[in-house]
Structure 1
């Protein structure tokens, strides 16, 4: 089993906390409900307040919606242009020689989203903290409070990779491709269209298979499940290394958990539908499947 090492344990992080090349970030965002009849699926709230209440010593904060998403679309968290990302990551002190460690509270999906974004820009030096700050605090490790100290600004030079993000037209075409498997990371009730969806029409992209992101995480420790378990879950849905994988969810966030595990397993033909159901469910020209 060929595995990649973009996962770092709490013990490994503790050993490198004082290294000058380390760039450690809390990436947390919260999704709050909206009033009935609202045209948006949720309100995205920065996790800066909980960061200031307690973070891993030396960490700084990345605001996904505020700094690292396209401001010119109604869809939340869409990948912005390369120049905007180069400037933003550079402001936070990331350069080619940085060792980046990403974590979030409660779920790793905000950390894996940033990992995927950095990977799409050609940056290979990022890892996700296994179990996040939840596991760190459960182990009794030190916590720091207060504002982010900030890292010295740096020059971040992107080397974008093609194909790591796709749009609705690419996904529609992929529904007819025999060598592509489309993976839905939302829960099974949303996959089947059994419950109303905050994104619009209930259901899934036709032909997609269900691998909920939640099945990749131990609910108690918040750590990733063993790779052998992940491999078995993917294999049960007909996912193998001979096929291209297109992953989606509600807003292009939790699907990066599936992509992170697939990458760790050595899958290399992976892509993310950035708009996900936030776009697909509202576009009545696109087919949708239930049941």
Structure 2
């Protein structure tokens, strides 16, 4: 099986729904900012999956199954054993299969953000654990339904698999990696949150602002709200070139709140040819919890 593109469209997927080598995963998860400030309320999208999904898809629970259960922070990468076991149960891991991941949108309830960042999170985890033959569905379930493509309530199921491949630690950045990057001009830190978050105008995390030296590329600004698909490559390239993130001589570390939106930016950077990219899994949740670590609250010039 040849490798699939990093990102595929609905037409591409529709023509392959009956392919026995396809493993289609619904990674829907939801966040909602609490009315009195503070960290998001988070819940699984399993109920939404059961109400309707793309035919054949199985539900991959990022919140309960594919995050470390004993971590102090939400959505921390689980042990390899936990992840590969869960993926094997879903039918993912064999060399002759390929995966397409999608989500059902509304990543942040009430916010008009078009991005399949839950899908990109799972795709990133698969690559991190050594499974590269994975694509994200551009426009996700929202675009699929808008085009009146088939939807079902019948649960999907695939034969169990043995997950293969080796972990790729270079895709993951730790707090220590980011601390080192503060003094390294060859590393670019990309904050994937909104401009308001970046400028310290919100109170979602323990402290407000951004990691010093960061540049800001809001993950929600990379897709067209009308078409639900990514902007064209020229526009995407211009966005990341402006902040220096496509410099082939630089390493890029993306971060956000809890390592979700950051995977969307990392995916787009990969699509544009920047492969020296890692994602800070702890992101602002971990960084702001450590009062000894610096933050800036003014937008970089």
TM-score for the superposition, normalised by structure 2: 0.91
Match of 2:189 among 178, 182, 192: 182
Deviations 1:104-146 (A, max 9, x none): 1223000000111111112111001111111111111111124
Partners of 1:191 and 1:118 in 2: CA distance = 29
Is 181-190 or 152-161 further displaced after alignment? 152-161
Pairs within 5 Å for 1:188-227: 188-193=195-200, 195-227=201-233
Partners of 1:263 and 1:149 in 2: CA distance = 30
Matched, 1:163 2:161: no
Match of 1:84 among 56, 74, 82: 82
SS of the residue corresponding to residue 44 of structure 1 reads: strand
Is 46-55 or 217-226 further displaced after alignment? 217-226
Partners of 2:195 and 2:96 in 1: CA distance = 41
**TM-superposed deviation, 1:150:** 2.0
Partners of 1:163 and 1:277 in 2: CA distance = 20
Partners of 2:20 and 2:294 in 1: CA distance = 51
Report the equivalent of 2:139: 131
Match of 1:114 among 122, 145, 165: 122
Report the equivalent of 1:101: 100
Match of 2:179 among 156, 172, 176: 172
| Conserved 8 A contact 2:55-2:156 | no
Report the equivalent of 1:16: 16
| Conserved 8 A contact 2:31-2:42 | yes
Report the equivalent of 2:252: 245
Partners of 1:140 and 1:288 in 2: CA distance = 46
Deviations 1:54-105 (A, max 9, x none): 1111111100011100111120101011111110110100122211000012
Partners of 2:91 and 2:159 in 1: CA distance = 5
Partners of 1:110 and 1:219 in 2: CA distance = 17
Partners of 1:119 and 1:265 in 2: CA distance = 17
Matched, 1:276 2:283: yes
Partners of 1:228 and 1:57 in 2: CA distance = 33
CA-atom RMSD, angstroms? 1.5
Question: How many residue pairs were aligned?
Answer: 284
Unaligned runs of 5+ in 1: none
| Conserved 8 A contact 2:193-2:218 | yes
Is 222-231 or 258-267 further displaced after alignment? 222-231
Report the equivalent of 1:140: 148
Which 4+ residue blocks in structure 1 deviate beyond 4 angstroms?
34-38
Report the equivalent of 2:43: 45
SS of the residue corresponding to residue 64 of structure 1 reads: coil
Matched, 1:55 2:53: yes
**TM-superposed deviation, 1:35:** 6.9
SS of the residue corresponding to residue 163 of structure 2 reads: coil
Matched, 1:285 2:292: yes
SS of the residue corresponding to residue 15 of structure 2 reads: helix
Partners of 2:278 and 2:98 in 1: CA distance = 24
Report the equivalent of 2:31: 31
Partners of 1:6 and 1:64 in 2: CA distance = 20
